[in-house]
């Protein structure tokens, strides 16, 4: 049976502060400008043998502190970071940065309203702009997109070289006025349209 506990960690505190203070991306500007207090905590999951294992869900997640709990703490948000992720992953900063992007602060009439944002995709675009493709899934997506672009460019060059498509993109030949054009019915050439059966009509 697994056991889960939450603890504070000096190394995590230091890293989170460095990410917020050193980042020049506008995604974290609200945290600095509004002096939002974020308390990092480590989420530790151990199995019945006492071995650490990853927690299900995102490796780092922002949680807004409720109004009730803010009576007992000055924190605006909790940043919950998976212990296994923090100690084993090679993209810890990117994961924490992505979680910090969830912070949404709206200033109005001298007060601030706190909320959390959902990622643009599975991650915030800001995270990709700062850290690039930092895990295997994103690296695979990047390689796939580069390969698709390369194939499209080669196909276009081949059509140009064979005269099927001139460099300006205009067709090399136009259909003759004498040439009979296929009759179209509901987007299907007339000769390919399947015959209708009287018995196939739906009755109401």
Same domain, yes or no, for 151 and 101? no
Same domain, yes or no, for 86 and 149? no
Same domain, yes or no, for 150 and 127? no
Q: Is residue 127 part of a domain?
A: yes
Q: End of a domain among 131, 166, 181?
A: 131
Q: How many residues in the chain? A: 204
pTM higher than the cut 0.75: no
Q: Residue 39 and residue 17: Cα distance in Å, rounded?
A: 10
Helix runs in the chain, H state only: 10-22, 29-33, 83-88, 92-100, 125-131, 136-161
Q: Is residue 10 part of a domain?
A: yes
Same domain, yes or no, for 7 and 52? yes
Q: Is residue 168 part of a domain?
A: yes
Q: Is residue 182 part of a domain?
A: yes
Same domain, yes or no, for 150 and 178? yes
Q: What is the DSSP string of 137-171?
A: HHHHHHHHHHHHHHHHHHHHHHHHHTTSS-TT---
Q: What stretches in the chain show pLDDT beneath 50?
A: 141, 144, 169-204
The total number of structural domains that make up the chain: 2
Q: Is residue 204 part of a domain?
A: no
Q: Is residue 201 part of a domain?
A: no
Q: Give every CB contact of residue 1 below 8 A, 6+ residues apart in sequence.
A: 48
Q: Is residue 7 part of a domain?
A: yes
Q: Which domain holds residue 148?
A: 143-194
Looking at residue 123, what is its pLDDT? 65
Cα 89 to Cα 17, 58, 125: the distances in Å are 19, 13, 20
């Amino acid at each position: 049976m697994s056991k889960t506990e939450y603890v504070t960690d000096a190394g995590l505190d230091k890293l989170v502060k460095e990410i917020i203070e050193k980042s020049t991306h506008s995604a974290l500007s609200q945290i600095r400008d509004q002096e939002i207090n974020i308390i990092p905590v480590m989420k530790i999951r151990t199995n019945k043998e006492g071995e650490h294992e990853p927690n299900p869900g995102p490796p780092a997640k922002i949680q807004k502190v409720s109004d009730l709990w803010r009576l007992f703490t000055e924190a605006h948000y909790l940043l919950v970071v998976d212990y296994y992720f923090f100690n084993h992953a090679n993209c810890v900063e990117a994961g924490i940065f992505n979680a910090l992007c969830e912070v949404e602060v709206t200033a109005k009439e001298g007060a601030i309203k706190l909320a959390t944002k959902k990622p643009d995709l599975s991650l915030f675009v800001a995270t990709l702009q700062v850290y690039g493709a930092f895990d295997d899934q994103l690296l695979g997506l990047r390689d796939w997109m580069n390969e698709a672009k390369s194939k499209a460019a080669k196909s276009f060059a081949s059509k140009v070289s064979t005269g099927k498509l001139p460099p300006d993109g205009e067709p090399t030949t136009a259909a003759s006025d004498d040439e009979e054009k296929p009759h179209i019915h509901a987007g299907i050439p007339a000769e390919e349209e399947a015959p209708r059966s009287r018995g196939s009509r739906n009755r109401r």
